[in-house]
Amino acid sequence: MKSLDVYWRDINAISLLLLPVSALFCLLSKLRLQLYKQNILKSYKAPVPVLVVGNISVGGTGKTPLIIELVKQLQSQGRTPGVISRGYGGRSRVWPRVVNANSTADQVGDEPELIYQHTQCPLVVGPHREQSIKLLLEQFNCDVLLSDDGMQHYAMQRDIEIAVVDAQRQFGNGFCLPAGPLRETTSRLNQVDLVLYNGGDSQQNSFSMRATHCLAVGRESDRVDLVRFSGQKLHAIAGIGNPQRFFDMLKRFGIDVIEHPFPDHHQFSEANLLFNDAMPVLMTEKDAVKCRHFKLSDHWAVSITIDFSDDAQTKLDRIFNSLPV
């Protein structure tokens, strides 16, 4: 049986059949937003600026590596950013929860674990954003907060909204859930401070994800350049929102990829990672944080660097400079 997202790529009989439900979904979504704007539904305002990085569609758009880069840029400017995240996939018994060096992806989720691994910034996960912010500010002296996703979490007031769009997939068939991939209509993008296109051209407000090197899974001190695998045939594993983007990136390095896509936030078993051959295995960093405890020999996590277009970086600089100290 096909998953529903297969029908989100274009207009077809299934998506048209679901269109009346989507119309109701859109109506309720807009009504909910207006109720918050008119203060009929109450929202929480943090005592420091809040910058939301999110999207209007379901599926991976590259938010996590983007947040990592934004945190690093803010740190380089002398700011003390903190991050809040839903912690999807985390199975902690206590929420909200501070992420630290002793946390695991199983407890706090793969994306928060990866963000902390790269930035060591104050980070709290939990389903209730207000509680997460309060805990973060109780324990850390942050002067700006980034919300990993949460664009539709209107119970949390925000100062800046950055929406991320996959430049290749765009908005699918353009329908709202469940007939299409949209959480809100595309007109919502007119209300945000900046729209960033992942994989867009240099004339857009865009960024690209560039693979640089690989770290041995479970032995992060072992590092090799990705070009070492050029011309080789190997296995590639991706349990992210858009696995094909990862596979295509490897192919641009001349790698003969045997593709192994998994659902986003997949909980890997060791058997998922072992194949009856001697070929290397490449995986995303997001997947690798869940696999460090396995006994693996030739498995490598591909590190990603974000490159902004000139226009995008200029607008980000303006946003950062507008934040009160």
When pLDDT is cut at 50, 70 and 90, the band that residue 2 belongs to is: low
Q: Which helix (H) or strand (E) holds 82?
A: strand 81-85
Give yes or no for a contact between 286 and 242, defined as CB atoms under 8 angstroms apart: no
Q: Which helix (H) or strand (E) holds 118?
A: helix 110-119
302: left (phi over 0), alpha (psi -120 to 50) or beta: beta
Greater pLDDT, 168 or 316: 316
Q: What pLDDT does residue 173 have? A: 95
At 263-317, the pLDDT tens digits run 999 999 999 999 999 999 999 999 999 999 998 989 999 999 999 999 999 999 9
Q: Has residue 221 got a pLDDT over 90?
A: no
Give yes or no for a contact between 193 and 161, defined as CB atoms under 8 angstroms apart: yes
Estimate the crossing angle of helix 63-76 against helix 310-322, to 10 degrees: 60
Give yes or no for a contact between 216 and 36, defined as CB atoms under 8 angstroms apart: no
Give yes or no for a contact between 45 and 141, defined as CB atoms under 8 angstroms apart: no
